[in-house]
């Protein structure tokens, strides 16, 4: 599997990624500052606004610790273990007020970026790749993971407060290193067990990548094949929302945000169900 852009894993972050992390954390803080209370439910979630914000604050702290080289066990990557780890973390962290959580989210995003910068300047002290809830990741992919995680839950907070969300095509592009890295880890083993297929996913106006499935294994490459079984063209924000379990793919198809063609175009509706949202 290849990331979308190969770079020195201990060097500076790809252009725009640090800024997107800071701006997304700031956008989330702005949402929280606008809230009159945090007991409002988050749509399609068991969490309240305060619980979702607390989870974000704790997750940003976790990511900052990982970037600094600290070991922080947190589930084994399965949805069940991550849900259990989330529940345990929230049970031992009582803060639910908007203002302190907003501050913690932005502060820990900065701590994360400072840690990545220190490693970039002192490569000899970098150590092994951080062990994340979804396996080992170099710090560039970890930064993409942090951005993706904040965007997913930031979208939830925006929905809860009936405010515009902060996801756009530029930020989606910066999420792609993590998305490609995580796909083999979040594949549904039952769904892919008997499937042999090659997909090319093209983000409208953006990147394209290849997803091949065979013998219960998933291979992801940033170099698409010339003749895949099925090509899916999808609007970037729609792609991320579907991938994170925030958007119904059938509704997106009905609204013309997804097109498919190739030798086996009927494989397209099956693609989202092959993975469990990270």
Within a domain: 151: yes
The CATH code of the domain that includes 207 is 3.30.1050.10
Give me the pLDDT at residue 20, please.
98
Give me the pLDDT at residue 7, please.
39
Give me the pLDDT at residue 162, please.
97
Bridge partners for 218 per DSSP:
213
Single out the residue in 182, 213, 237 at which a domain terminates: 182
Give me the pLDDT at residue 107, please.
98
Domain hosting residue 62, numbered range: 17-182
- pLDDT of 6 strictly over 60: no
Q: Do 193 and 155 lie in a common domain? A: no
Q: Do 107 and 245 lie in a common domain? A: no
Tens of pLDDT, residues 116-148: 999 888 765 667 899 998 999 999 999 999 999
Element (DSSP H or E) covering residue 190 = helix 189-192
**Residue 206 backbone phi and psi in degrees, to 5:** -140, -145
Question: Which 3-state string (H, E, C) describes 81-102?
Answer: HHHHHHHHHHHCCCCCCHHHHH
Query: The whole model's pTM is what?
Result: 0.93
Single out the residue in 182, 198, 217 at which a domain terminates: 182
Q: Do 211 and 226 lie in a common domain? A: yes
CB 271 within 8 A of CB 264: no
The CATH code of the domain that includes 86 is 1.20.120
């Amino acid at each position: 599997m290849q990331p979308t852009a190969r770079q020195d894993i201990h060097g500076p972050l790809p252009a725009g990624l640090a800024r997107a992390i800071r701006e997304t954390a700031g956008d989330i803080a702005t949402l929280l500052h606008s809230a009159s209370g945090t007991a409002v439910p988050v749509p399609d979630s068991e969490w309240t606004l305060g619980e979702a914000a607390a989870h974000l604050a704790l997750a940003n702290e976790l990511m900052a610790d990982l970037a600094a080289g600290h070991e922080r066990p947190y589930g084994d990557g399965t949805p069940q273990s991550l849900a259990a780890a989330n529940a345990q973390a929230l049970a031992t962290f009582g803060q639910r007020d908007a203002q302190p959580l907003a501050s913690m989210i932005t502060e820990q995003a900065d701590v994360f970026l400072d840690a990545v910068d220190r490693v970039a300047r002192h490569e000899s002290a970098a150590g092994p790749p951080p062990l994340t809830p979804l396996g080992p990741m170099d710090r560039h992919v970890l930064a993409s993971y942090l951005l993706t995680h904040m965007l997913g839950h930031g979208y939830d907070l925006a929905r809860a407060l009936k405010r515009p969300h902060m996801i756009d095509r530029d930020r989606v592009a910066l999420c792609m290193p993590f998305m490609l890295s995580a796909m083999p880890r979040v594949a549904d083993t039952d769904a892919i067990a008997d499937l042999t297929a090659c997909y090319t996913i093209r983000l409208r106006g953006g990147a394209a990548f290849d997803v091949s499935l065979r013998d219960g294994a998933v291979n992801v490459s940033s170099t698409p094949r010339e003749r895949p079984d099925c090509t899916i063209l999808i609007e970037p924000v729609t792609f991320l929302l579907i991938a994170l379990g925030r958007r119904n793919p059938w509704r997106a198809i009905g609204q013309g945000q997804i097109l498919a063609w190739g030798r086996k175009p009927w494989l397209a509706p099956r693609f989202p169900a092959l993975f469990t949202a990270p």
